[in-house]
Structures are given as C-alpha cells and as structure tokens.
Chain A
Amino acid sequence: MSDMRTFPEAASARPDAEAPAAPLSAGPRGRRTGAAPLSNDSRIAVDIRGLVERGEMDEARDRFGELVALHQRRASRIAYQYLRDAGEADEAVQDAFVKVFTHLTSYRETWPFEVWFTRILINGCLDRRKARTRRDRWFVPGEPSSADEARLAATDAAPDPERRLLARERRARLAAAVERLDGRQRAVFTLCHYGDCTPREVSAMTGLNESTVRVHLFRAARKLRGLLGGKP
C-alpha cells in the first residue's frame, strides 16, 4: 500500500498550472456546462482576480474572506481525513488558501473554483503526509494531539462515559480502516464521500479517468466493508 503515491498529473495540480483544456460539464448541483453561468464561488474568484490584477489588494483581501467562509469547513473536513491531526489539517487549509490567493491570477474560469482549490489542498496534504513519513523515519512518531482528544471528549454528545469510549473506539477503527486503503482509493473515497465531490469532479482534481474514479470508489467501499465487518 503506497501512502505516498500521488496522482499521475499531480504536477499540474500546482496552483500556477494551467486549467484543463476541456471545460467541465454540468454537475447536478449547479456546476457549469460549457456556457452555463459560473457558480457563486467561481464568480467571486474571478472578481478577486480582477481586483488583484488592478492592484486593489485591500478590496481583494476583503472579498477573499467570502471564499474562505464558503470552503473552509469542507476543506477542513477533507484535510483532517487526509492527515488525522486537527492542528496539521488547520495549517494545511490555511496554506491552501494563502496559496490560492497568491496564485489567483493564474485561475481560469473554465475550471470551477472548488475543483482548483481542492487540488491545491490535497496536494498540500499529500506533501504533509510525505514530510510526516520522513519525520517518522528518524524520530519517534507523534501521538495524536491530546488537545484534539480533549476537544472530542468535551463535545461528544453522549453523556454516558461508556458510550463515549465506544464512539472513540469506533472512530479509531474507522480511521485505521481508511488508513489501510490504497493511496488512490483513499484519495478518491475521501473526496467523494467526505468532500461531497462527484466522480467527475474527482476526476478533474486527480487527473484520473472518471471510470477509474468509480472503480477506485467501489473498491474502497468494498474493502472498508470487509475491514469493518459491514458496519462502521
């Protein structure tokens, strides 16, 4: 199982890379077809790009806050599923937003902003995973953050300590099962299932063929069911 495998076109997922030549066709949730209007986030991104190009940086920064608010929660969820550390996920999300802002002039509206942003985010997460593996080779691997544990315990809805413990064990089991997925399977599963992306969008983000995305997703689901005994 290769954790560190990146996607074949991973290099093109860099923020300064060109958008794919063919525009993405419509998604069911208002994604754009060829001449369909831009989605809300893409429109904001285009506006900000204009502001940056005109040198109105303060205005651009203010508008960028809207984009952050739109994508922040979903981005944090994806990053956390990749990294399994809230602090590191937080940093990865911040880095992705900063990178997006600094490279916004290279954004092309032929590509939905969500897809462009998510590519940047997952590449950052993959880089962090690589760095962590390198670190763990030389140092004792770190334990999960105790602050995260405390936060989970504090916000756990179950009042019963036994239930809380069971929930924690279930989460650990689930995380371990997802961790055992092949690198691509995990990426596809995370994006589709936790990132609310359609296979078409995942295909655009990862550079994989759409049918390949579906196959990876199916295999991931089958493997998870096998590992978790049919129930999470």
Chain B
Amino acid sequence: MITRARHLHDDRLVDCYLAERHGEALDPPVAEHLSDCESCGARYLALSQFMDALRDEADAETDALFTPERLRAQQQQIARRLAGVGRPARVISFPRRIVRRTITASTSRMAPRWVAATAAAGLFVGVALGAGYEWGARVRTGWQGFAATSGITRPPRVTPIPTRVAAPPDVADDAFLSELEIALERPHTRELQAFDAFTPHVREISDQSR
C-alpha cells in the first residue's frame, strides 16, 4: 500500500522560507516534498510571496526615509558626538576671582560678612522707602485736614457744571405731584388705588383753595 507523506505544517514552511533566504540548504525530505506536493508547493509559494512583499514594502519605506544624505548626516552627527569621548573633561572655574585666591581663614569668613552687610543694607533701604512712602501719605492727608480746619480751599480742578435756572416753586410742585399721580396709576400700584380713593388728591385741595 502506498502512503502519501503528510502535508507540511506552516511552521515548517516558515523554516524553509528562512533557510532559503539565508542561503541555507533545505532539509532534503522537505525539499523533495515541496517539489512533489502541489498543495504544499502552492502554500509555500504564497507564504514566500507574502513575506517578500512585506519586506519589499518595508525596504522601500526605509529607503525613502533614510536617504544617503540623511545617513551621511547621521554619520557626521555620530562623529561629532564621539569627538568628546576619551578627552579629559574641561573644568570651568567659577567664580574666577574667588578661585584665584587662596582660601584662608579671613577670606572664608569674608562671604558671610558680605552676605550680612548686603542683607542689612537691603533691609535699611526697604525700611527707609516704606517710611518715606508713609510720610508722604501723611503729609497729603494732613494738608487736607489742615485745609478743612483753616478754611483754605484749593481751586477746583474741574470746570464747574453750569447750574440750571430754578423754576417757580408752584409749577415745580405741580409737575412733581402730577408725576406722582401718573406713577400711582400704573398697573403695578393698582392694589394701592383703594387707599388712594380715601385720600384727598392734592390737585383737588389746591383747586378748592384757589
């Protein structure tokens, strides 16, 4: 009885693909099977095409991105970064004046003294400024108080608004009262109209008096 060899599993096909790509010899029985079995041969071909297409696509993309110019620039950048490797580190002296001096007991005590003196000067200036500002404010308010008590007035800064000519009192009163009445007749004061009815109107009183 003739038994056909089993079909190759996918992982064997991937192994074959890798071996072929890296120039390795295929396992002879596997190579034989691939050439004999149509189905496995077709599967292997499909796998190879798929993998090759993936690779070609990726290669095209990276070749487009990493052009020779870019790679050259990258080389230069690497060279620049390596230029400092292995060279002794440069020590930057800071601050130069203090470094030049030999540190003695007197100079070591110099820094705290300077700090204290600067802090004291700053405090003094701050207090003086604050006091001056306060004094200035007092002087201003004191002048106003003095002026109020002594009757001295400063000339007004703004030009006076011209005053209106006063209307005769009766006319003004009438106008005011009529405005009141109009206001009372408005809808929102309707609830007060009952009280209004009991109350004698100014107009009536004035008419009677005339």
A interface residue numbers (CB < 8 A to B): 27-29, 52, 55, 57, 60-61, 64-65, 68-69, 72-73, 76-77, 80-81, 86, 90, 93-94, 97-98, 101-102, 148, 151-152, 155-157, 170-171, 174, 192-194, 198-199, 214-215, 217-218, 221-222, 224-225, 228, 230-232
| Docked CA distance A94–B10 (Å) | 38
Interface size (B, Cβ < 8 Å)? 39
Collect the chain A residues with CB atoms within 8 Å of residue B67's CB. 151, 155
Q: Which of B22, B60, B65 has the most CB of A within 10 A?
A: B65
Contact of B14 with A by CB under 8 A: yes
Q: Main SS of the interface on chain B?
A: helix
Chain B residues with Cβ below 8 Å from A170 are: 57
Residues of B within 8 A of A174 (CB): 54, 57-58
From 97 to 122 in chain B, residues with beta carbon under 8 angstroms from any chain A beta carbon are none
Q: Report if A73-B85 is in contact (Cβ < 8 Å); known contacts: A65-B79, A222-B10, A230-B50.
A: no
Task: Write out the residue numbers on chain A whose beta carbons fall within 8 Å of the beta carbon of B74.
Answer: 72, 76, 90, 93-94
Q: With the chains together, A228 CA to B55 CA distance in Å?
A: 14
1/0 per residue, CB under 8 A from A, across B3-16: the answer is 00000001100110
Identify whether the interface residues of A are mostly helix, strand, loop, or mixed. helix
Residue from the list A73, A157, A221 in contact with B51, Cβ < 8 A:
A221
Partner of A28, one of B22, B54, B55, B87: B22
* A156 interface neighbour in B46, B55, B64, B66, Cβ under 8 Å: B64
| Contact of B75 with A77 in the complex, beta carbons under 8 Å | no
Q: Bound complex: CA of A225 vs CA of B58, how far in Å?
A: 16
In the complex, are the beta carbons of A217 and B24 less than 8 A apart?
A: no
Query: Does B61 make an interface contact (CB < 8 A)?
Result: yes
